[in-house]
Amino acid sequence: MDRSRILVAVVLFFLGVMMAVQIRSARDIQPNSPVARVQELTARLKEVRQERDNLKDEVEDLRKKLDQISAGTKTADQALRDQLEKARVEAGLLPVTGPGVEIILNDNPKEIQPGEDPNLYILHEEDLLKVVNELRAGGAEAISINGERLLATSEIRCAGNTILVNTRKIAPPVVILATGDPDTLQSGLEIRGGIFQQLKFWGLVAEVRKKDNITVPAYTGTLIFNYSRPVK
């Protein structure tokens, strides 16, 4: 009887040990995350850290500007004024002055004889376009035609017997002002086989004068954008 109790006790002991080992092993084993999930979380953590650093830099920049304004300095205000003035100059909304050239264009002064085509001896819009293109190729920074400042949206076109520049009618003599390197602008117009040689072939007046200081007027028309919006 004692042996039987001892045997049962031993069996129960071993069973208890085995169950305890299994329970402990099951508790220690954690479900492993898939490799793809780990990589995804790592990449996301990297992105979040980058966003944090970017926001930190932005906050520091805003704090510096705020400190400048709070201190009553003109640095921030003057910087905005300078940027606005630069944008207005580039847009052609302010008059500019500097070295450049003055160009005089006119029809052929001769009297047209019977049977001759008068269109061969008058100034056309394509002549103005060629002169303007040559000036731009030579680095002209600002151009006006008979007081009309040329913008990116300006047009030079024929309307019957007249030429339209910025929808305004102009007639010869035509005076073109352009700021830039006077030597480069003049040489581009007077180059052999260039636009001036073509105009003079038909007896048209084509003169260019270098100027140390000329003033190109500002654009005075309206600017309307119905379909274009700034890209945010």
Say what the pLDDT of residue 1 is: 47
Residue 43 CB-half CA count within 13 A: 6
**CA dist., res. 65 & res. 71, Å (int):** 10
Residue 68 vs residue 107, higher pLDDT? 107
Say what the pLDDT of residue 216 is: 96
**CA dist., res. 109 & res. 220, Å (int):** 32
- The mean pLDDT of 121-147, rounded to a whole number, is 94
Q: Which range in 51-55, 76-80, 193-197 is most confidently predicted, on average pLDDT?
A: 193-197
Output the CA torsion 195→196→198→203 (10° steps): 150
The pTM of this model reads 0.65
Statement: residue 143 has pLDDT above 60: yes
Residue 15 vs residue 162, higher pLDDT? 162
Statement: residue 181 has pLDDT above 90: yes
Residue 107 vs residue 19, higher pLDDT? 107
**CA dist., res. 188 & res. 137, Å (int):** 8
Say what the pLDDT of residue 16 is: 62
The residues with which 214 forms a beta bridge, in sequence order, are: 98
What proportion of the chain, given as a percentage, has pLDDT over 90? 41
Tell me which residue of 176, 187, 180, 210 sits closest to 101, measured CA to CA: 210
